[in-house]
Structure 1
Amino acid sequence: MAKVGRIKLGSQGLEVSAQGLGCRDLSGPGKPEPDMIALVRHAIDIGVTFLDTSDFYGHNANEVFLGKALKEDEVREKVELASKFGVSFADGGNKVDIRGDPEYVRAACEASLKRLDVDCIDVYYQHRVDTRVPIEVTIGELKKLVEEGKIKYIGLSEASPSTIRRAHAIHPITAVQVEWSLWSRDVEEEIVPTCRELGIGIVAYCPLGRGFFSSGAKVAERFSENDPRKRLPRFQPENLEQNNTIFERVSEMAKRKGCTSSQLALAWLHHQGSDVCPIPGTTKIENLNQNIGALSVKLSPQELLGLESFVAADSVKGDRSAIGLATWKESDTPQLSSWVAA
C-alpha cells in the first residue's frame, strides 16, 4: 500500500497527512487496547499521521489511550496530534457544560498534556464555543499557551463565520473543524468561504455521515442502546427510508467507479480542495485501509455534479444534529466591550 500524501493545513506552517484518523471510538468497553494501539501504529506506518482526540471522548479516557499508543519508539515525533477542550462534565459527570473562560482553558490544556503524556499539543481546538464568553477572551488565553510552547496551533470547532473572524483577529486560527459530508453541506455557504478567505484549513469530521455512507439504512440496525446516533433525526425511521435512496444512488455510482460507497463519499471531500482534511474514524484495520483507498478515486467535474445532485438540500430528511446539541449556527459570543468577567 502506497503511503498517504501530505497537505498544508492553514497558512501557519502546519503540514498533516491528506487524511487523518478520528480516534474517539478507539477506547472504551469492547475495544481491546492492544488491538486499538496496533491500529494506530498501522495508521502511522502508512502515513496517516494526523490523529484527532478530545478530553470529552470517554470522559478523558481517549486521551489516556492515545498517550499510550504514542509512547514507544519515538512515535510522537511522527504524528500531528490534535485535541480539544471546552465541553466539561459537571455535577459528578451527569451534566455537560460548555466553557471558554481563561481559567478553564488553561486547566483543560494542562490536564490534556498530562493525560496524553506529551509536552505540546500540535492543534488545540475549542470543541464548542462558550456563548457566554467573548471569543477574544478564550483565544487570548490560547495565545498565551502558544507562547509558552504548550500548543503549536489554535483551532475552532463548530464556530460561526463571525466567531472565526473575531478569533482570527486575536491570533491566527490554523484549522476549523466542521461536520462535512455528502449529506451535511451547510458549511459550504459561509464557513468554507470564510476559512479560505482567512487562510484557515478545514478538517471534516463525520465525513461518512456518521457511518451512513458505509452501509446506508442498515447501519442503524447495528446501533447499540447507548449509541448517540439513535437520537439523530436522520436515523429516525420516518426519515431513514427516504435518506436510504441517497445511499442507493451513491452506491450505484461507486459500483460504476469500481470503489465502495464510503470511498466515493470520502473522495468527494478530497476533491473539495487541498485545504480539506477528512478524519474518518474506525476500529478495524481493514476499514482504515479501505478509507485510504479513497485517495486514489478520481472524479470528473460531471461525476462531482452527479454526486451532489443526489444530496440536494431538499433530498436529505432530518437535521444533522439532535435538538439541544451546539453547532456553528448558535456559536456567536458577546462582544468584548460588553463583557465583565464573573
Structure 2
Amino acid sequence: MEYRVLGTSEVKVSAITFGAWAIGGWMWGGADRKDALDAIRASWDNGVTSIDTAPAYGQGLSEEIIGEALQQIQRDKVQILTKYGLRWDLKKGEFFFNSTDNDGKPIDMYRYAGKESVIEECENCLRRLGTDYIDLFQIHWADNTTPIEETMEAIQLLQEQGKIKAGGVCNYTADQMKTAEKVVSLAANQVPYSMVLRDIEKELVPYCREHNKSIIAYSPLQRGLLSGKIKPGYSFNEGDTRSGNRFYTDENITRINAFLAKIRPLAETKGATLAQLVIAWTIQQPGITVALVGARNAEQAIQNARAAEVQLKPEEIMFINDQLAKLELVQP
C-alpha cells in the first residue's frame, strides 16, 4: 500500500481508502452490520488505514459501525475522514432532497453549514465514532445560505481545539475553494471521478495541483459499473439510487462493458480483476491522491486493497486512455 499526505496537512492516508457510505445502508438497499465490521477489519489488515464516512450515511449508522470497529484497532494507526453540512434532523439552510431512512420513514435532507451547526455536528461525530479527534473534517455539500467564510471559521476553531487535524471540502468548485482558503488552509477536495466521469480534469485538477491540495476521488468504480459485473437488465434492490441513473441505462451498460472487454486482457496479464485495474488507474492519475472504494464484506475489502499492488506503465495507461477516448456514452 502507498500512503500519501493530504495537501500540506500532517494527515497521511492510504491511497486506497475505505468508503463507508454503503455500510450505512442508506440509498444502497441495506447492509449487514457484522459483514461491515469484518470488511473494515480486513481492509486495515491489508494496509487500508483510512476510512471515509459521513453522518448522513444511514443517519449516523455508518459512523457508529466505524466507532465499534475502532475499539479493535489502535486509534493512531487509522485515519478517520468524516463530514458535516447535511442535516436531516432540522429544517434549516438549503433544501436538498426528500429521502427515506433505513426504516423507510420519510426524511428531508438540508444543506446547512452555519458555524454553530458545524460545531454541533463535530461533537455528534466524535460521540458516534467514539474518538476525541477527527483526522479530516469535510463539508459534504456547499450550503448556499451560509457564507463560506462563516463555515470555515468553525473549522479553524475546531482545529485550534484539537478536535480535527485538518479541514477539507467535498463537491466544491475551484472558486469555492479559493473563498474557503481566505480563512483556513484546506487539505483536500472530495469529488466524483472515474474513467467515465472526468469533468474535474478541466479546472479542478489543475487548481489543486498548482496549490498543493489533494483530490479524494469518490465512486472510482462508478458505483460498481466499472467492475464489469453489471449487465443490461440488472435488477437493483429497493432504495438503491443507481436505478435510473444515466450511467445505468442498458445502452450505456452495454457500451461500458464493451470498453472493459478491451482492457480486460491487460488486467489478466497482471493477475488482477477489472476492478483492481480501474482502481490502480485512478490512483495513478495526475492530481488524484486517494481513491475511495466501498466494501460490504471482507472479501471485497481484501480485493480492493490488493489493487494497490497493480503497477501500470506509462504506455499501459496510454492504452487505457486511448480506449476510453473511443467510448461514447448516450446522454439523457
TM-score, normalising length: structure 1: 0.85
Structure 2 CA distance, aligned partners of 1:273 and 1:245? Answer: 26
8 Å Cα contact 2:52/2:80 also seen in 1: yes
Post-superposition offset of 1:246: 2.3
8 Å Cα contact 2:215/2:287 also seen in 1: no
Q: Specify the alignment match of 2:94 in structure 1.
A: none
5+ residue gaps in structure 1? Answer: 320-342
Cα deviation code 1:299-334 (max 9, x no counterpart): 222221221222238623347xxxxxxxxxxxxxxx
Matched residue SS, 2:325: coil
- One-letter amino acid matched to 1:38: D
Q: Specify the alignment match of 1:15 in structure 2.
A: 12
Q: Specify the alignment match of 1:51 in structure 2.
A: 51
8 Å Cα contact 1:179/1:207 also seen in 2: yes
Q: Specify the alignment match of 2:86 in structure 1.
A: 87
Q: Which moved more, 1:12-21 or 1:119-128?
A: 12-21
Alpha carbons of 1:38 and 1:225: their partners in 2 closer, same or farther (altered >3 Å)? closer
- One-letter amino acid matched to 1:40: I
Q: Specify the alignment match of 2:75 in structure 1.
A: 76
Matched residue SS, 1:107: helix
1:136 maps to 2:133: no
1:154 equivalent among 167, 178, 183 = 167
Q: Specify the alignment match of 1:34 in structure 2.
A: 34
Q: Which moved more, 1:32-41 or 1:226-235?
A: 32-41
Q: Specify the alignment match of 1:329 in structure 2.
A: none
Report percent identity of matched pairs.
31
8 Å Cα contact 1:9/1:275 also seen in 2: no
1:106 maps to 2:93: no
Post-superposition offset of 1:114: 1.2
1:244 maps to 2:257: yes
8 Å Cα contact 2:208/2:287 also seen in 1: no
Post-superposition offset of 1:293: 2.2
Cα deviation code 1:124-177 (max 9, x no counterpart): 000101122221111111111111111110010010010011112211101111
TM-score, normalising length: structure 2: 0.88
Q: Which protein is richer in strand relative to its size?
A: 2
Structure 2 CA distance, aligned partners of 1:152 and 1:245? Answer: 44
Structure 2 CA distance, aligned partners of 1:274 and 1:163? Answer: 18
The 5 Å alignment of 1:312-331 reads: 312=325, 315-318=328-331
- One-letter amino acid matched to 1:66: I
Structure 1 CA distance, aligned partners of 2:299 and 2:233? Answer: 21
Post-superposition offset of 1:274: 7.5
Structure 1 CA distance, aligned partners of 2:245 and 2:76? Answer: 38
5+ residue gaps in structure 2? Answer: 92-104
Alpha carbons of 1:240 and 1:47: their partners in 2 closer, same or farther (altered >3 Å)? closer
1:253 equivalent among 245, 250, 266 = 266
Post-superposition offset of 1:216: 4.8
Structure 1 CA distance, aligned partners of 2:285 and 2:128? Answer: 35
1:164 maps to 2:177: yes
8 Å Cα contact 2:256/2:327 also seen in 1: no
Structure 1 CA distance, aligned partners of 2:223 and 2:75? Answer: 28
Post-superposition offset of 1:295: 1.7
Q: Which protein is richer in helix relative to its size?
A: 1
- One-letter amino acid matched to 1:53: T
Structure 1 CA distance, aligned partners of 2:273 and 2:189? Answer: 28
Count of residues in correspondence between the two structures: 315
Superposed CA RMSD in Å reads 2.2
Matched residue SS, 1:149: coil
Matched residue SS, 1:20: strand
Structure 2 CA distance, aligned partners of 1:317 and 1:8? Answer: 38
8 Å Cα contact 1:24/1:62 also seen in 2: yes
1:295 equivalent among 283, 299, 308 = 308
Post-superposition offset of 1:49: 0.8
Alpha carbons of 1:140 and 1:93: their partners in 2 closer, same or farther (altered >3 Å)? farther
- One-letter amino acid matched to 1:278: A
Matched residue SS, 2:82: strand
